[in-house]
């Protein structure tokens, strides 16, 4: 009888294997922290992540990666990674989320991978930007991108039993958000300005022990899909609406089958209940600590989120430094 591979869904074992790839990418990026060369940092992280992914027992297709094949020789959109045996999986990779922060020595740079069953991730690569609204479980049935930011803040404050004046809203510090920031403050809430990395901002908005209540604004569409993988594990709320920068990009989006008028919920961004999100800190941040050298060892901190089990695990790993020289 021919051998049949019955493993069709990503499992917790796969999640624990993928964390090795984010750890490797984070460690290889360390020599470039604060050195001003974001391309070198990204290149080192990409090489390390791809090398580790090639050893993992799964059949992964990169839905969200470093770009199209002609621009990205490795981890490009559509590339198959892994051994080709095991669960058939969509993956999104970002060897360094925050290459500029790494190059400048700033906080909150991460190495990330998201995964889900094959064919479940929205490929929004043809439209670069997306409006996003992210919160914890209190936002379900309360928040909507169709409401004003002031109404969203007031409704979420009511659901959480907090005064509006104590609400904290995370938003990327970009010129395009000047009006949004004014509206947030006019509603009476405070802001947490993000230099980069709205994935971490969204995750922190969905975690119960952080000061961030809401993460809003226009950021990368791929990051919206990645964030949805994490939000599903946290039981939080996310909505996204594509925001093409011009008519040419809008046409590309429509040609790719995207609905530019649709408000995508978590299931629209990534279908099913079997998502994973894995991240390792490159530099220190509110989500995880960065890579640290402690005598003969290199210490990494990672988080692993799985929607099927509804868990967030923190993993602290000590690596013999001599193996990485």
Which residues are part of a known binding site for Mn(2+)? 42, 66, 94, 97, 223
- What are the distances in angstroms from CA 227 to CA 16, 213, 303, 321? 19, 15, 14, 32
Position 12 scores a pLDDT of: 60
Which residues are part of a known binding site for substrate? 97-99, 129, 174-176, 196-198, 220
pLDDT average, residue stretch 39-45:
93
pLDDT at 315 over 50: yes
Architecture label for domain 129-269? 3-Layer(aba) Sandwich (3.40)
Interval 256-289: pLDDT, tens? 999 999 999 999 999 988 999 999 999 998 889 9
Of 33, 207, 48, residue with least CA distance to 113: 48
- Indicate the domain borders of the chain: 14-119+275-323, 129-269
pLDDT average, residue stretch 225-253:
95
Topology of the domain covering 14-119+275-323: Fructose-1,6-Bisphosphatase; Chain A, domain 1 (3.30.540)
DSSP notation for 106-147: -S--EEEEEEEETT-B---TTS-EEEEEEE-GGGTTT--TTS
Which residues are part of a known binding site? 42, 66, 94, 97-99, 129, 174-176, 196-198, 220, 223
pTM of this structure: 0.90
CB 115 within 8 A of CB 11: no
């Amino acid at each position: 009888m021919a051998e049949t591979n019955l493993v069709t869904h990503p499992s917790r074992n796969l999640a624990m294997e993928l964390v090795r790839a984010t750890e490797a990418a984070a460690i290889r990026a360390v020599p470039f922290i604060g050195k001003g060369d974001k391309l070198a940092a990204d290149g080192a992280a990409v090489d390390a992540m791809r090398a580790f992914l090639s050893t993992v027992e799964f059949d992964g297709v990169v839905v969200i990666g470093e770009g199209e094949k002609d621009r990205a020789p490795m981890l490009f959109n559509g590339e198959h990674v892994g051994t080709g045996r095991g669960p058939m999986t969509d993956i999104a990779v970002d060897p360094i989320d925050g290459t500029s922060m790494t190059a400048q020595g700033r906080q909150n740079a991460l190495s990330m991978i998201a995964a889900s069953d094959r064919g479940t991730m929205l490929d929004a690569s043809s439209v670069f930007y997306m409006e996003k609204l992210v919160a914890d479980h209190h936002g379900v049935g309360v928040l909507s991108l169709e409401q004003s930011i002031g109404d969203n803040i007031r409704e979420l404050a009511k659901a959480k039993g907090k005064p509006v004046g104590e609400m904290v809203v995370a938003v990327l510090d970009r010129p395009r958000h000047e009006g949004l920031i004014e509206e947030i403050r006019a509603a009476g809430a405070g802001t947490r300005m993000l230099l980069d990395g709205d994935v971490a901002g969204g995750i922190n908005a969905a975690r119960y022990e952080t000061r961030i209540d809401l993460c809003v604004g226009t950021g990368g569409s791929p990051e919206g899909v990645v964030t949805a993988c994490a939000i599903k594990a946290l039981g939080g709320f996310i909505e996204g609406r594509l925001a093409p920068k011009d008519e040419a990009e809008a046409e590309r989006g429509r040609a790719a089958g995207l609905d530019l008028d649709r408000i995508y919920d978590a299931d629209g961004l990534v279908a099913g209940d079997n998502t994973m999100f894995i991240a390792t800190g490159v530099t220190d941040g509110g989500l995880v600590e960065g890579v640290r050298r402690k005598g003969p060892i290199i210490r990494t901190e990672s988080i692993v989120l799985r929607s099927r089990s509804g868990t967030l695990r923190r993993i602290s790993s000590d690596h013999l430094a001599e193996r990485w020289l």
